[in-house]
Structures are given as C-alpha cells and as structure tokens.
Amino acid sequence: MIVMKQALPRRTFLRGIGVTLALPLLDAMVPALSMTARTAANAPRRLGFVYCPNGVSMNFSGINYWKPKGLGEDFELSPILAPFAPFRNQMLVVSGLAHRSADASEDGANGDHARGTSTWLTGVHPKHTSGADVYNGISADQVAAPVIGRDTPLPSLELSLDLNYLVGNCGNGYSCVYMNTLAWRSPTTPLPTENNPRAVFERLFGDGGTAAQRLERARENRSILDSVSADMARLQARLGPNDRTTVTDYLDAVREIERRIQTVETNGQKELPDLERPVGIPERFDQHVGLMFELQRLAFQADVTRVVTFMLGRELNFRSYPEIGITEGHHGLSHHSDNPVQMARYAKLNTYQAEVFASFLESLRATPDGDGNLLDHSLLLFGAGLSNSNLHTHYDLPLTVFGGGFKGGRHVAYPLDTPMTNLLLSMLDKAGVPAETLGDSSGRLVPELLSEI
C-alpha cells in the first residue's frame, strides 16, 4: 500500500495475490485546505450510456407510452418514464432528435437494427459490409475516455447482457460487429463488450495473478478481500471514523456482489451442467442486469473508470421476460403492428427496463461522493437507437438524460430531425471533453439547458 504522509494519495490501493483493490474517495485523500479545493477534488466527472434494443412503444391513438405530455417544467411523466419520478429534478427528457445517418440511404430498406446501434454514439452511417472491413465513426464515449479516463485504471468499460461474440452477417448484409457494441475507438476499431459478471468483477478488482490462482480462488469460494486483509487492517488503523465507515461499507458491497456471483456460478454448475453460457452469467434477466449495474456503481465509486457503455440487450434479440409475465421474444414483441394489446405489452417491457435503470440511479444517489453523491457527479444517457419499433424509425428518438450537468425537471422538444449528436456534444462539453464536432452534428443544445456538473 502507498505510505500515507499528510494525506492519502487519491489512487490508493489495497493489494493482495492477484488483487489490486481501488478505494473510494476518502476525506484522508483530500488535503485540509479550502472548501473550494475539497469540492474540486471530490467531483470527478463521469459519463454513462445505457442502450435499450428494438426501440420502444411510442405514442398511438392518443396514448403516450413514452413521450410526456407538456413541455418545459410543466410535463406529465408517461407510463414508461413513470419509474423515474423520484429523479424528476435530475432528469431531462429530450424529444425531436434523430439519427438520419441511420437511415437506409443507398444501402436499401433493411438493416435498421444494425444502423440504429452503430450510429447511436457516432452519428456516422456505417459501411454496408458483413466482412472484416467494417467502418463507422469514433463514438462519444471514446472521445471522452482519453480525457476524463486518462487517470483511471480503465479509461472506459463496455458492457452488455446478450451474446458478445457473434460474427458474420447479422442484419441484411451488415456485420454482427455493428450490433455487438456501442463503442468505437476509431472508425475501424469496435470495442468488444463483456457480459459475464465474473469477468467484469475480475477486471475491476483483480490484477491477474496466474490463471491457476484465480481458478483456485473461484473454486474455493474465497473472496478477493481475503488476500488484502493485512493491507486493509493497516489502512483502517490510520483512518478517521467517517473514512472507516466509508471503507467498511464499500468493502461490504464488494463482498456482497462477489457472493452473488459465486452463488450464480454454483447454481449454474449444479443445475445447468450442459449449458454453453460462460460461468458467471445468470439465467434471469433481473439477476443479470442487477449485477451488471452494481458493478458499474462500484467502478464509479472506486474511480476505476469514469466512462461506461451498457447495452440492456442486443438488437434482434429474442429474450423473454418471465419475471413480468412476458413470454414472447423481445424483437418479435416489438413488431406490434399498431395492435393496442401488443403495444401495451411492449410498453410493459419498456417500463420494466426503466425500472431496472431507476434502481441503478437510486444506488448512485445513495452513494456519497465528495460534496454530493455519485448521481450528482455523473451524466447518464438512457434511450434507444429506434423510436417506433414497428416501423424502425430513427427520428424523434426516445432519450432521457440524468444526473448533473443539465437543468433537470424538464421535457424539451427540438425541431424534428435535430441531430442526436448535438446532445452528445453537449454532454461532452459538460464533462469537460473538448470536441468541435461528432458525426453529423450541427451544433450544441441551446445553452440555457446546461448547468454545472
């Protein structure tokens, strides 16, 4: 462990065999200077992008499933957005934005799912190919990663829930790569996602060790915290009461999520011996998404990363949701044919997605961070690359922004077909990331929508 003098270094770690455990921000890491200095040190900027596949139930025959009624501060939350009521003051609903770069153009009428995913954070029309010669644009998260992520162990983290290794033609002549990830480091370099909670956990809190050491620990259900106990005891002896409580709560959270992963692995070995899914991936959506969101919270809290992309599903996926009584496949249900019954069922699914994200928002808000909490110091985009899922439209996209950086408690409608990349540029601005343009952007959102992060 780094030796403490007047103050602990911000990047202080607990170390053990195969483990490097970053710590959350503590009072002991901030020099006892002015309150201004403390505030500046306590508020790293974070960006998160959470993607919903296959569009949403929009508005039909007077029923507003997604878009709120009313504008400005005088708006009524729609059924899908109702789970966000506790976060209304830190929520900005944005209507009218589009990704016209996701339209068919000369590629033909199909392929909207692939283009919807690949353009969501790039604003660039992807090359129509099913081969290895994919070509897109740099995504907003990867514009931010070298700037706000340069001092963190992981400049960015790319996560998903569905299969992440499909190759070949996955959508009318488009490579599977276009639907496998949101993150593009360069026009020819897509970043693979990880959907295995165990692999994410080891990436966040393990520094490798040997494969044999990691396998032995997993088989024996030994916590990674066991190997840092000596360092932990020395650190706790040096901390004040508030910091000791913070560290204890954080380590308890790490131990709990490790226990949950181990339970999944144990159950998987006992009940599903022939399943090809990698060990560590829960069968149930609610368990899987809960683990992945909790890992993101811990990564933010420990400042392991400040930039995350997370796909709640892959376009064209056939996942069912028995937890809420939906047995149809996701993609099939999205093609509701304007049938009121099917639209209502799809809205139920979309509301469920909002509920699991709202739980993540609550966990961020409940985690102290400097002079506020993790939600205060994060800027998170939640939405989809398709709007009307039945028609595969890429205009008037369903988009909401949460956290610090925009004036919350508002529904703002822009002229139809305003580039979504204008919103992404504004988010980069508020995160302190310089960028003159992004994809098909034509400018920023109007300044009065912005506030301090």
pLDDT score for 220: 54
Q: Is the pLDDT of residue 272 over 50?
A: no
Question: Region 309-320: what's the mean pLDDT?
Answer: 93
Q: Is the pLDDT of residue 168 over 90?
A: no
Q: Hey, what are 436's tokens?
A: 């003159």
pLDDT score for 219: 53
Q: Is the pLDDT of residue 40 over 60?
A: no
pLDDT score for 213: 54
pLDDT score for 61: 63
The mean of the pLDDT values for the chain is 84
pLDDT score for 261: 78
- Cβ–Cβ under 8 Å, residues 307 and 144: yes
- Cβ–Cβ under 8 Å, residues 87 and 400: no
Strands 46-52 and 307-311, sheet pairing = parallel
Cα torsion angle, 431, 436, 440, 445, sign: positive
How many percent of the chain have pLDDT more than 70? 84
Reported as a single tens digit per residue, the pLDDT across 93-131 is 999 999 999 898 877 668 889 899 999 999 999 999 999
Question: Region 167-189: what's the mean pLDDT?
Answer: 88
Kindly compute the dihedral angle of the four CA atoms of residues 264, 265, 267, 271, in this order, to the nearest 10 degrees: 130
Answer with the residue of higher pLDDT: 126 or 17: 126
Question: Region 347-360: what's the mean pLDDT?
Answer: 97
Q: What whole-number distance in Å separates Cα of residue 238 and Cα of residue 442?
A: 53
In this prediction, residue 211 has a pLDDT band, given cuts at 50, 70 and 90, of low
pLDDT score for 226: 75
Cα distances from 321 to residues 21, 285, 317, 324, 333, in angstroms, run 35, 7, 12, 6, 11
The torsion angles phi and psi of 306, rounded to 5 degrees, stand at -125, 5
Domains recognised in the chain with CATH numbers: 1-42+200-280 (no CATH), 46-195+285-449 (3.40.720.10)
Q: Which residues are CB-contacts of 288 (< 8 A; sequence separation ≥ 6)?
A: 161, 197, 281, 282
pLDDT score for 65: 93
Answer with the residue of higher pLDDT: 332 or 164: 332
Q: What whole-number distance in Å separates Cα of residue 251 and Cα of residue 298?
A: 10
- Taking residue 359's Cβ as centre, other Cβ atoms within 10 Å add up to 16
Q: In what order do the strands lie in the sheet with 378-384?
A: 157-160, 307-311, 46-52, 378-384, 399-403, 91-98, 410-419
pLDDT score for 95: 93
pLDDT score for 151: 85
Question: Region 225-229: what's the mean pLDDT?
Answer: 75
How many percent of the chain have pLDDT more than 90? 52
Answer with the residue of higher pLDDT: 54 or 19: 54
Q: What whole-number distance in Å separates Cα of residue 316 and Cα of residue 54?
A: 7
Answer with the residue of higher pLDDT: 191 or 337: 191
